[in-house]
Structure 1
Amino acid sequence: MQNALYTVEICGGGVPVYVGAKRPMNRDLQTADLVHGRDGLGDIGLPLQGRTPAAESAVDALIAAAKQYAGELTLVTLGPLTNIAQAIQRDPSFATNIARCVIMGGAPDGVGNTTATAEFNVYVDPEAAHVVLHSGMPAEWVGWDVTLRHAMLTPEENDSIRAEGTPQAEFVADIQKPVLVLWEKLFGYAMVCLPDPLAMAVALAPDIAEHLPVHMDIEVIGSLTAGMTVVDRRPRPSDHNALIVTRVHRDRFIQMLHDAVT
């Protein structure tokens, strides 16, 4: 919560931050300290305390906004889907009140980043992802696979963003330090992976992405495959329940990153 408040502040403020669920629906909380640092923002010494969130809960705020702006809202999710699932369970009309939902989550090609088959956001709360997928909400899934193909930055590209010279540019580049270290340790070369900015770019500029309608489900039971996004690519024209992003125009995405911090 403090991380979100700090990010809003460095971007100019004026956006309320609501406190969401403390843990997944049916599981213990998993975190990603190795990727994002112990503080979640790169362990670079940011002042991540002392700010006050809105009094209303995230779920209540989501339901209220969806009712007030029914058929108008684009929802972008950049973490586990617990809050969204709870909103759907509390108010089933929430799913159909949302005009468009862009989800950073899943690994449609079956290759995960947390387990062999599961991407982190779905793995942390697969039950929530299952609720959202089967709710009827019009969702586009920006998965780990398309991130690996189109949203990996070299250290030089990350430095070029920092060179824009604004506080926002320095912030978004510097918090990538744990990712650079981890990637080099795992694969022998340093890279920055940007799945969340990619999902936001798809939300802001839909024409940068190519989509594939598929039938998809979420594995919630498997001892080896919990959190897997199971995609059936066989022709099932009357049974599609998800849109997966398969390709993104990388040059435009990189330009959007630079534009966002200047």
Structure 2
Amino acid sequence: MIDTDTASDDAVALMLASAADVTIEAVTIVAGNVPVELGSRNALSALEFWGVDVPVYVGETRPLARPLQTAQHVHGPDGMGDSQLPAPRRVPRDPDAVDVLVDIPTRDPGAVTLVTLGPFTNLARALERDPACLGKYRAIYCMAGTLGRGNITQQAEYNLWCDPEAAALVLDSGIPLTFIGCDAARDFTGLSSDRLDRWHSLASPRADFAIAVTRGAVRWYSDRGLRGSADLPDPLAMAVALDPAIVTRSETVHASVALDDSLRGKLVIHPDSAPVRRSVTMVTEVDADAFWSRVDSMVAGHDEPSASGGATR
């Protein structure tokens, strides 16, 4: 199951999941990178491109306590690199995303993995409806946080910064979480114009789609001299969820999320002796070759072989 604010790198993450030997139970949409209506459209377009019939559900339209501040300055007005994707044929389904996040693990406790690629607003609302619901997932992998430099402010990663109140509520629940942060993405997932050129040489529909939705972000990074490449935090989080063996280093930290304006969204690390400790597993290093092998194979059209009877959800 995937909760996302579908913009360019979210779409690549959806492509990775669609190409893998897994069943995607549902895709739930939260406001973040783009407004929720646009995120829903983008998710439906990406899934239709793959020909997979996965239900999409619309979730929260704004953070719990703050106005929505999108990242369209990076991902383009459409969130997909201004790629002008055709309108999807399908529409989101009922009920709302929060009900789905509550209901799916309740029906089959311990069987479904949740991957979150956006702010935690939908998750926080789910906890308000059923405080036990998130604990029924087999595991929860989140593109969230940083132990180093942020990607929206010096100290904060965007998903925590966009809705810090929701992130604080989820962390305070004590539910086991694995964070794949923007610092890990920065170190291991730089998408350069050279790689886009190699994808272009494949002359395949998948490569064309991946290029269309990511080239705007690559250009944005390059124009600002930021290593000349765009990070892929959401595909990295998805790759870790699909194959945790690509993680080469992680650490357990006791963390909270800062809510005051000066440190908004910062993942605050506390000593082990702190009276209230919320443990989060932070992925700090991955096998970059294994990550790029998965991404490049997917773009080239080499899916994982299907196993009879389905697979991880």
Q: How would you bin the TM-score normalised by the shorter chain? A: over 0.9
Please name the residue that 1:99 is paired with: 138
How far apart, in 2, do the equivalents of 1:189 and 1:226 lie?
A: 26
Please name the residue that 1:244 is paired with: 282
Q: 3-state DSSP class of the match of 2:178?
A: strand
How far apart, in 2, do the equivalents of 1:207 and 1:188 lie?
A: 29
Please name the residue that 2:50 is paired with: 11
- Structure 1 residues 97, 186: CA separation in 2 closer, same or farther (over 3 Å shift)? same
Q: 3-state DSSP class of the match of 1:198?
A: helix
Match of 2:176 among 138, 157, 182: 138
Contact persistence 1:17–1:54 (CA under 8 A): yes
How far apart, in 1, do the equivalents of 2:239 and 2:221 lie?
A: 23
**Count of residues paired in the alignment:** 259
Q: 3-state DSSP class of the match of 1:51?
A: coil
- Structure 1 residues 216, 61: CA separation in 2 closer, same or farther (over 3 Å shift)? same
Q: Residue type of the partner of 1:184?
A: S
Contact persistence 2:256–2:278 (CA under 8 A): no
- Structure 1 residues 189, 96: CA separation in 2 closer, same or farther (over 3 Å shift)? closer
How far apart, in 2, do the equivalents of 1:77 and 1:83 lie?
A: 10
What's the CA shift for 1:169?
A: 2.2
Across the aligned residues of Structure 1 and Structure 2, the Cα RMSD in angstroms comes to 1.8
Match of 1:90 among 129, 154, 167: 129
Contact persistence 1:98–1:138 (CA under 8 A): no
Match of 1:76 among 87, 94, 115: 115
What's the CA shift for 1:161?
A: 3.3
Please name the residue that 2:25 is paired with: none
Q: 3-state DSSP class of the match of 1:156?
A: helix
Please name the residue that 1:117 is paired with: 155
- Please list the CA deviations of residues 25-54 of structure 1 after superposition, one character each: whole Å capped at 9, or x if unmatched: 111001111211000111011123553111
How far apart, in 2, do the equivalents of 1:94 and 1:165 lie?
A: 44
Contact persistence 1:95–1:136 (CA under 8 A): no
Unaligned runs of 5+ residues in structure 1 are none
- Structure 1 residues 54, 224: CA separation in 2 closer, same or farther (over 3 Å shift)? same
Match of 1:161 among 192, 199, 212: 199
Contact persistence 1:213–1:240 (CA under 8 A): no
Contact persistence 1:164–1:258 (CA under 8 A): no
Please name the residue that 1:219 is paired with: 258
Q: Residue type of the partner of 1:94?
A: C
Match of 1:21 among 60, 63, 72: 60
- Aligned-pair identity in percent equals 37
Match of 1:187 among 225, 237, 246: 225
TM-score, normalization: structure 2?
0.78
How far apart, in 1, do the equivalents of 2:145 and 2:92 lie?
A: 29
Please name the residue that 1:148 is paired with: 186
TM-score, normalization: structure 1?
0.93
- Please list the CA deviations of residues 28-84 of structure 1 after superposition, one character each: whole Å capped at 9, or x if unmatched: 001111211000111011123553111211011111101012112110000111001
Q: Residue type of the partner of 1:128?
A: A
Q: 3-state DSSP class of the match of 2:142?
A: strand
- Structure 1 residues 157, 30: CA separation in 2 closer, same or farther (over 3 Å shift)? same
Contact persistence 2:145–2:266 (CA under 8 A): yes
Unaligned runs of 5+ residues in structure 2 are 1-39, 302-313
Please name the residue that 2:268 is paired with: 230
What's the CA shift for 1:154?
A: 2.0
How far apart, in 2, do the equivalents of 1:30 and 1:108 lie?
A: 23
Contact persistence 1:95–1:135 (CA under 8 A): no
Contact persistence 1:77–1:102 (CA under 8 A): yes
Q: 3-state DSSP class of the match of 1:245?
A: strand
What's the CA shift for 1:219?
A: 0.3
